[in-house]
Amino acid sequence: MNPKLLLPGSFETLQRAVNPVYQIGPSSIHGVGLFARRDISEGQSIVEYSGERISKAESIRRCSEGNAFIFYLDEQFDLDGNIESNPARFLNHSCSPNCAVEKEGRLVVVAQRTIAAGEELTFNYGYDLTDYREHPCNCGADACIGYLLGEEFHETAKRAALNRAV
């Protein structure tokens, strides 16, 4: 393929698709995960979370059918990442993630710190306190809160656990 025929920026995208910085493999966190194929620098874009843009009503319907790949976009829409061409759907949750998802028109997974080759790529799913006990966490991080909660809810969950223990 002649790179001069590609749109600006698309050659880099093509190169990433041909030789991505990640690979898919079995995860100790949950089923399948994404792993760094080589060292990744802090701030480096890794993969885009892609899928079908759907309404909130359709999102609720699909979630009730067990679709775990729905990603919040805004008050009106979500993104269903349950498509074969979306390797980002294999990113697992961690209470101490090494990646974040940036929303600037697209959902792009970016390294929050330097990531070593072989390390599992994770981000915080950021669930809220609604029914959080139904979403246990298996990340194994030292700072694991035990649930797939956004960091802003960790202290609330810790207090609730202390009150139950007393």
pLDDT given at position 133? 84
pTM to 2 decimal places: 0.81
Distance (Å, rounded) from C-alpha 91 to C-alpha 99? 9
- What is the mean pLDDT, run by run of 10 residues, along the chain of 166 residues? 37 54 95 96 94 94 90 90 93 95 87 97 88 87 88 80 62
pLDDT given at position 135? 86
Same domain, 114 and 150: yes
Same domain, 66 and 140: no
Same domain, 14 and 66: no
pLDDT given at position 13? 47
Residue 40 is encoded by which pair of tokens?
């990744």
Contacts of 8 (CB under 8 A, 6+ apart): none
pLDDT given at position 7? 38
Last residue in a domain, options 79, 94, 117:
79
pLDDT given at position 122? 97
Please provide residue 120's backbone torsions phi and psi, each rounded to the nearest 5 degrees.
-70, 135
Instruction: Report yes or no: 21 and 38 within 8 Å, Cβ to Cβ.
Output: yes
Same domain, 10 and 28: yes
Same domain, 42 and 111: yes
Residue 41 lies in domain: 3-50+85-165
Per the structure, the count of domains in the chain is 2
Distance (Å, rounded) from C-alpha 123 to C-alpha 96? 8
DSSP letters along 30-95, please?
SSEEEEESS-B-TT-EEEEE--EEEEHHHHHHHHHTT---EEE-SSSEEEE--STT-GGGGPEE-S
Same domain, 74 and 143: no
Same domain, 28 and 98: yes
Same domain, 73 and 34: no
Same domain, 129 and 58: no
Q: In what order do the strands lie in the sheet with 107-111?
A: 45-49, 107-111, 99-103
Domain CATH for 11: 2.170.270.10
Instruction: Report yes or no: 148 and 97 within 8 Å, Cβ to Cβ.
Output: no
Q: Which of 80, 84, 68 is nearest to 107 (CA)?
A: 80
Distance (Å, rounded) from C-alpha 137 to C-alpha 1? 44
Same domain, 97 and 118: yes
Same domain, 46 and 57: no
pLDDT given at position 112? 97
Same domain, 66 and 126: no
